[in-house]
A and B are shown apart, each in its own frame.
Chain A
Amino acid sequence: MIRDLAALAVANGAVIAAGHGVLRVGGIRPAAGDLAWTLGAAYVAGAAGVGVLGSLLLVFGLPLLWWQLLLLCATVAALGLLRRGGLRTPARVVTVGWERVLPAAILVVLSVLAIDLAVQPLWGDDAWSIWGVKAVAIVALDGLDPAFLSSASVLSADYPLVVPVLELVALRFSGLPSELVVLQLGLVFCAFPCALVAFLRDRSRPLVLWTVVLAIALAPTLQIQVASAVADVTLAVFFGLAGVAGWQWIERGEGGLLWLTGVFGAAAVGTKAEGAVFVAFLLGALAVAAARRGRSPAGVGVVAAAVAATAAPWVLWSRAHELGNAVSEAGGFGSTDLTAAAERLPRAAAALAWEVVDPTSWLALAAIAVAAVVVGLRHHAGRGAAAYTLFVSVACLTVLLAVYWATPLDFDYHVATSVRRVVTVPVVFAASMAPLLLGPSAGAEGVAVDR
């Protein structure tokens, strides 16, 4: 176990280095010792980059051996070093007084969760039947094996590859079978609060930011889902950061933020099937917001094309090998008589609404997100961000409602086994935007630019 943990630390050090490359390509050079940026944001950016590029390399025939993963991370890190000028060092907003208890509490909560993840077996049914089986098969068969993936061994074999790639990091570095797959996948969530602080702290009130981040770290449903090694939290992390970076691009116009929107958006698309639809709505909303501010939405179009280009190889490969999923094997969405199934709509809407507000799942998080949207809509300065948050969140929920309406699976079973997980994306997205909606920063030091 200790040897495996040490190997995993090396691997994740490489992921952080790759993340620094991703950030640097976007023009961000974190200050040394700035933990939120150097560890949190860099880790999630590295996981997104490795996940997306690793998926492409798998499709192109590489088995992603441990040294190939290291080489991939080193290459991304080196790409960042190619950018020399125009780098900005993010502002450091100092937390003072009793507020300092909050980041300490967040670190304690996340550390306890990380220990739990380290001892957690891969036991959740989606974790082994959809994601783990793919990662293990890639190791056992030295890459993607169409004969295996098209067999009955894999549930929803056409689901994208970012999660199996992240799990591969554990399997390649600590061997098969690995007890650390759950920890490896969960590190994305453990880094998320730090990443959110890094992205928002110079644009939000520190106390508001710490309050939201503490609520994220404590939310029982997020802790439980992370320990179950399902993909919804990973999707929510990437999508939430794509949304936050995207809106910051609208407000600040820095191209690097649009780059990060693309990186996190591509990772969200590569994590789960519904991620593609969510990201399409997100980018659509950003394009409209840009146009309303007199800015060309062409940049968003370029990002959308790039995101689609990262997803296309796997889609084509899985189609070429006739891979399916639980929905397609049950006849697909087109097989449902939508008129006859209309009675599902109120039931699905009620189930979604309850899961969004359920305090035993979210504690105060969902309430903070809703209140932030309301406050944002009431104030002129925050109205744009609030409308964006509301639109994207409602669009995600509408997509989920449409899925339940048209599902060819047994409706009650489908809702019962998934609704608690799938609302994670809109709630985490809205919560991530909350610090921006609850007022501008007081006392931010601005940004230092190195030319």
Chain B
Amino acid sequence: MDGPPAARMRPGTVCCSMLNLPSQPGTTGFLLLGLGAAAGLALLVFGRAHVRGRLAPDAGHSLTSIVTVGLAVSVASAPFTTWRVLEDIRRTAPITAEHARYVGAETKLIDGELVERIAALVPADQTYHVAVDPRAYVEIRESLALWMGYALVPRRQARAPESADWIVTWGATPSRLGLRAREPRLVGRNRLADDEPVYLARASP
């Protein structure tokens, strides 16, 4: 978490949104924004007296304005914001339970199926160490160890390779990354980024 994003970063892959929130309004979104804006504007122009009528008789000008503007903005935005969430539901609901398990990995360009294969190969009571090729995408370099920490529970992740039972390397063999290990096996290739090879090896005694 403490390293600066490096040059090899895919724009748009660092997400701070709902999983499938539309990134652009599109025709429907713009239509709803327009309708909402018209309704909000109408409330702003014609609704002020109604708002004042519903507030206590001592309601001042500023209170009436705050409530009217607050309601107008909500009315203007509600159709669009609600549609966005409905779109998110429409696109997210078809995700299968199996796929849902590693969607988090995919947002970081990590092929979650490969991690599940590693989980099947490393016994639950053993430890592993993770190393990533420095040429890999920054999302993978920053997130792979954390994702494996989550996906490989209850296996413990070792901070140092010499205290691990297993070595996982992403993008290169253990020897290329300067790690001592027995003969690595190719677990698979990362379908989400350049077919990077992923290896698993027992640590050298």
Among B25-33, B84-92, B176-184, B197-205, the stretch that binds chain A is: B84-92
Among B62-70, B166-174, B186-194, the stretch that binds chain A is: B62-70
Whether a CB of chain B sits under 8 angstroms from the CB of A245 is: no
Q: Are A119 and B97 in contact (CB under 8 A)?
A: no
Q: Are B19 and A120 in contact (CB under 8 A)?
A: yes
User: Which residues of the partner chain B approach A326 to less than 8 Å between Cβ atoms?
Assistant: 1-2
Q: Are B150 and A133 in contact (CB under 8 A)?
A: yes
Whether a CB of chain B sits under 8 angstroms from the CB of A363 is: yes
User: Which residues of the partner chain A approach B2 to less than 8 Å between Cβ atoms?
Assistant: 326, 329-330, 408-410, 413
Q: Are A207 and B51 in contact (CB under 8 A)?
A: yes
Give the residue of A177, A218, A375 whose beta carbon is less than 8 angstroms from that of B77: A218
Q: Are B73 and A215 in contact (CB under 8 A)?
A: yes
Q: Are A119 and B103 in contact (CB under 8 A)?
A: no
Give the residue of A99, A119, A128 whose beta carbon is less than 8 angstroms from that of B54: A99
Give the residue of B21, B55, B101, B104 whose beta carbon is less than 8 angstroms from that of A125: B104
CB distance from A112 to the nearest CB of B (A): 5
User: Which residues of the partner chain A approach B54 to less than 8 Å between Cβ atoms?
Assistant: 97-99, 206-207
User: Looking at chain B, what size class is its interface with the partner chain?
Assistant: 35 or more
What CA separation (Å) do A442 and B146 show in the bound complex?
54
Whether a CB of chain A sits under 8 angstroms from the CB of B145 is: yes
CB distance from B51 to the nearest CB of A (A): 7
Q: Are A128 and B147 in contact (CB under 8 A)?
A: yes
Contacts A125-B107, A211-B74, A227-B19 known; A136 to B66 CB distance under 8 Å? no
- B48-88 with Cβ < 8 A to chain A: 50-51, 54-59, 62-63, 66-67, 69-71, 73-74, 77-78, 81-82, 84-86, 88
Q: Are A116 and B158 in contact (CB under 8 A)?
A: no
Q: Are A152 and B51 in contact (CB under 8 A)?
A: no
Closest A-chain residue to B74, C-beta based?
A214
Give the residue of B100, B108, B157 whose beta carbon is less than 8 angstroms from that of A179: B100
CB distance from B14 to the nearest CB of A (A): 8
Q: Are B146 and A127 in contact (CB under 8 A)?
A: no
What CA separation (Å) do A119 and B156 show in the bound complex?
30
CB distance from A4 to the nearest CB of B (A): 10
User: Which residues of the partner chain B approach A338 to less than 8 Å between Cβ atoms?
Assistant: none
Give the residue of B17, B70, B78 whose beta carbon is less than 8 angstroms from that of A105: B78
Closest B-chain residue to A372, C-beta based?
B66
Q: Are A409 and B1 in contact (CB under 8 A)?
A: yes
User: Which residues of the partner chain B approach A141 to less than 8 Å between Cβ atoms?
Assistant: 153-154
Q: Are B18 and A224 in contact (CB under 8 A)?
A: yes
Contacts A151-B157, A155-B149, A439-B59 known; A227 to B66 CB distance under 8 Å? no
Contacts A119-B95, A420-B16 known; A364 to B152 CB distance under 8 Å? no
Query: Can you list 17 A-B contacts with CB-CB less than 8 angstroms, sorted by A residue number?
Result: A119-B95, A120-B88, A121-B19, A123-B104, A125-B107, A128-B146, A129-B143, A153-B149, A205-B55, A207-B55, A215-B74, A224-B21, A326-B2, A330-B2, A375-B66, A410-B4, A412-B4
Q: What residues make up the interface of B, taking CB atoms closer than 8 Å to A? A: 1-5, 16-19, 21, 50-51, 54-59, 62-63, 66-67, 69-71, 73-74, 77-78, 81-82, 84-86, 88-89, 92-93, 95, 97, 99-101, 103-104, 107-108, 127, 143, 145-150, 152-159
